[in-house]
């Protein structure tokens, strides 16, 4: 049985790996298919060093993103409360609902931070009062903000 060789994939190959993955394949498969198609290159020591450097850069980038999200979280939580004004009727019921877009606009107005409305989770808001909303800033970082719904 021939031993396997390592190949760095230049393109995603189904059932094998995605672009940038280091995979072990049979020598014939690499020599006759992957390398001639341009889908992979033979993993030499220089290529392996480049892969390690690329992975380190990616790790540093992800760490910087997480730190930026932590900073945004503290800035959102230090503000304290976001006030949304809605038209209200009797028994403190509001007309319409408070949407995630309303919350995103309030955050943008007060902090000048762009928050995607899809990253905001709201409880059911149908009356005037205080509510808590969760804002997902990063896959590992979420902030809980307080929303006050007030009459016009």
**Does residue 77 or residue 37 have the better pLDDT?**
37
The reply to whether the predicted model has a pTM over 0.75 is no
User: ∠ at Cα 110 (122, 69), nearest 5°?
Assistant: 65
Give the model confidence (pLDDT) of 56-72 as tens digits. 999 999 999 999 999 98
Give the model confidence (pLDDT) of 50-106 as tens digits. 888 988 999 999 999 999 999 989 888 888 788 989 898 888 889 888 889 999 999
- For residue 115, CA distances in Å to 51, 101, 127 come to 34, 9, 24
Q: Can you list the domains of the chain with their CATH numbers?
A: 5-61 (3.40.5.10), 66-151 (3.10.430.100)
CA torsion angle for 44, 50, 53, 58 (degrees, to 10)? -110
pLDDT at residue 1 tops 70: no
């Amino acid at each position: 049985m021939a031993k396997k060789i390592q190949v760095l994939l230049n393109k995603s190959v189904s059932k094998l790996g995605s672009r940038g993955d280091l995979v072990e394949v049979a020598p014939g498969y690499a020599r006759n298919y992957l390398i001639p198609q341009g889908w992979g290159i033979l993993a030499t020591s220089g290529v392996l060093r480049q892969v390690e450097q690329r992975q380190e850069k990616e790790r540093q980038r992800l760490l910087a993103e997480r730190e930026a999200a932590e900073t945004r979280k503290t800035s959102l939580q230090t503000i304290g409360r976001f006030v949304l004004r809605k038209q209200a009727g009797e028994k403190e019921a509001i007309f319409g609902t408070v949407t995630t877009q309303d919350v995103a606009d309030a955050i943008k107005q007060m902090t000048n931070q762009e928050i995607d409305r899809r990253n905001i989770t709201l409880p059911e808001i149908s009356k005037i009062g205080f509510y808590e909303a969760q804002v997902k800033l990063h896959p590992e970082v979420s902030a809980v903000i307080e929303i006050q719904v007030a009459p016009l």
